[in-house]
Amino acid sequence: MTQNIIFFDIDNTLLDSDKNLPKSTKKAIQALQDEGHIVAIATGRTPFAFENLRKELGIESYVSLNGQYVVHQGEVIHQHPLDTEALQQLTDYALEQDHPVVYVDHEDWRSNKENDESVTNAIGSLKIPHEVSYDPEYYVGRDIYQGLLFCTDGEEAEYEKRFSQFDFIRWHPASVDVLPQGGSKARGIEKAIEKMEVAPENVYAFGDGRNDIEMLRAVQNSVAMGNAEDIVKEAAKSVTKSVDEDGIEHGLKLVGLLK
C-alpha cells in the first residue's frame, strides 16, 4: 500500500463552526491511520492552541504558525521567525494608529495593549483555554513566529506598503496574521515532506481559509471545504462539503483515500 500524508487545517476544517470535532471526522482520521497513512496538521494556530486536539487524534507531526514552526514526530525541524528590527518598527507604527499587536511564539502569546476588547473578542472566538496576557516587550530577545495585528478590513493596506518584510493575511474581521515575507503553510509542508521523504503525488491537504490558499495551490492533491470562500475553492483541485456536513469524510472519499 502506498503511504500518503494528509495535512488538515483546524478551524472550520477539522473543527466545525462551534469549534467541535465532528464524530465523522474523528472516525475518518482513525480510518486513515489504520490504513497506515500519516495524518498531520497545517494550521495558523500556535502549538499550545491545539495540543488537546493532537492528543485526541494521535497526531505527532504538524505545520503550525502558518508554516513558521514545523514539528515531525515531536522533533522541531523548521523555524522561521519574524525579523526583530522590522517587528519593532511595525509595533511603533501600530501604536501610533492605536492598533494592538499580539506576539506569538510556540509557547505563549502576549499583547502590547492591556484589556483590549478587539483582542479579547477575536481570540475568544477560537475558544482556546489560554488567555492572552499583557507584555509589550515580549518580542524582545526571543523568536516570534507570528504577529496578530488588530485593525479593520482595509487598514492593513498601509502596513503592506510600509513593511515589505512581512505578509499580512486576514483571519478575522478585526485582525490579520503578520508572517515573515514568503512564509506560508506551503513552505512548512515543503520542509515536512522533505524530512519524511514523501513523494509530492502522495501529499494531500484540506483547508478553508485565506491562509490555506498557497498550501492548496502547492499540494498536488488539495481539497477546499464547502464552507470556504470562492477564492479559496479556486485554489484547490477539489471541493468537498461543508465541515458541518461531514465534509472531511466526504472529501477523503472524493479523493479516493477512503471507501
Structural domains of the chain in order of their starting residue, each with its CATH number? 5-79+183-254 (3.40.50.1000), 84-180 (3.30.1240.10)
Amino acid at 49: A
Could you tell me the pTM of the whole model? Answer: 0.94
State yes or no: pLDDT of 2 exceeds 90. Answer: no
Identify any residues that bridge with 168 across adjacent strands, giving them in sequence order: 178
Please tell me the distance from the alpha carbon of residue 206 to that of residue 1, in angstroms, as a whole number.
22
Give me the mean pLDDT over the 6-14 stretch. 98
- Sole residue written with cell 483546524: 10
State yes or no: pLDDT of 204 exceeds 90. Answer: yes
Grouping H, G, I as helix, E, B as strand and the rest as coil, residue 21 is coil
Task: State residue 34's pLDDT score.
Answer: 97
Give me the mean pLDDT over the 162-180 stretch. 97
pLDDT tens-digit profile of 74-95? 999 999 999 999 999 999 999 9
Q: Read off the C-alpha cell for 255.
A: 479523493
Neighbouring residues of 147: CB distance < 8 A, sequence distance ≥ 6: 82, 87, 90, 101, 102, 103, 104, 166, 177, 178
Grouping H, G, I as helix, E, B as strand and the rest as coil, residue 208 is coil
Give me the mean pLDDT over the 198-202 stretch. 95
Q: Any alpha helices (H) in 80-145, and if so which ranges?
A: 84-96, 117-124
Task: State residue 10's pLDDT score.
Answer: 98
Find, among 6, 11, 5, 4, the residue nearest to 225 by Cα.
Answer: 11
Please give the sequence-ordered ranges of beta strands (E in DSSP) within the chain, or none if there are none. 5-8, 38-42, 62-64, 69-72, 75-79, 101-104, 109-111, 133-134, 146-150, 166-172, 175-180, 203-207, 221-224, 238-239
State yes or no: pLDDT of 1 exceeds 80. Answer: no
Grouping H, G, I as helix, E, B as strand and the rest as coil, residue 82 is coil
Task: State residue 129's pLDDT score.
Answer: 87
Catalytically annotated residues = 9
